[in-house]
């Protein structure tokens, strides 16, 4: 049974991260002609396009993609509950759980993007389309921290500060809500 839970959880989490990445790319106004961005758009467009007809965007805030992320998280909760054997659902608890899972996965996504950006900065020779997108996504949160940190002789600790802050927030959510 735990192998089935692992598989369901992993598949939903991966798709949820792709949906959240699309939301983040639109919020950051990343270059959508980038091959990586094109993959994200193609993976989410069949579901986001019909939702956009119902849910309008508010400025740069794409509500259709955000609602899709919450729906994916809710479906994850339902699927895992069905595997375990629970068949009754409280809609309020389901919505709250889906929103918390979406927030937790957003934090996890940011952590992974920062780690991948750090690794790529060590091995990439520049002009990598993936690296350019990762910089577009992460630079708005790293630049203010970088300004406040003292010079470390070329060592950039801003990524570590953001990662530690996000891990702290995840742990705090676990303490407050108890299911992370």
Is the separation of the CB atoms in 138 and 117 below 8 Å? yes
Q: How many domains does the chain have?
A: 1
Residue 61: HSE in the Cβ half-sphere, 13 Å Cα cutoff = 4
* Domain of residue 79, residue span: 2-177
Is the separation of the CB atoms in 19 and 40 below 8 Å? no
* pLDDT digits 0-9 by tens, 46-102: 999 999 999 988 888 899 999 999 999 999 999 998 998 887 788 998 999 999 999
* pLDDT digits 0-9 by tens, 98-141: 999 999 999 999 999 999 998 988 887 777 888 889 999 999 99
Look at residue 179 in the predicted model and tell me its pLDDT.
63
**Cα–Cα distance for residue pair 48/36, rounded to 1 Å:** 18
* pLDDT digits 0-9 by tens, 32-47: 888 999 999 999 999 9
């Amino acid at each position: 049974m735990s192998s089935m839970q692992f598989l369901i959880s992993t598949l939903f989490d991966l798709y949820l991260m792709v949906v959240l990445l699309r939301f983040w790319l639109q919020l950051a106004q990343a270059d959508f002609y980038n091959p990586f961005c094109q993959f994200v758009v193609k993976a989410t467009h069949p579901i986001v396009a019909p939702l956009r007809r119902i849910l309008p965007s508010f400025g740069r805030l794409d509500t259709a993609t955000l609602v899709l992320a919450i729906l994916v998280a809710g479906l994850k909760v339902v699927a895992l509950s069905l595997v375990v054997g629970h068949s009754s659902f409280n809609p309020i608890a389901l919505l709250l759980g889906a929103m918390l899972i979406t927030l937790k996965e957003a934090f996890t996504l940011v952590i992974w993007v920062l780690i991948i950006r750090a690794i790529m900065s060590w091995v990439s020779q520049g002009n990598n389309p993936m690296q350019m997108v990762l910089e577009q996504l992460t630079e708005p949160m790293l630049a203010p921290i970088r300004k406040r940190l003292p010079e470390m002789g070329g060592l950039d600790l801003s990524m570590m500060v953001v990662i530690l802050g996000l891990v702290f927030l995840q742990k705090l959510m676990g303490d407050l809500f108890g299911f992370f």
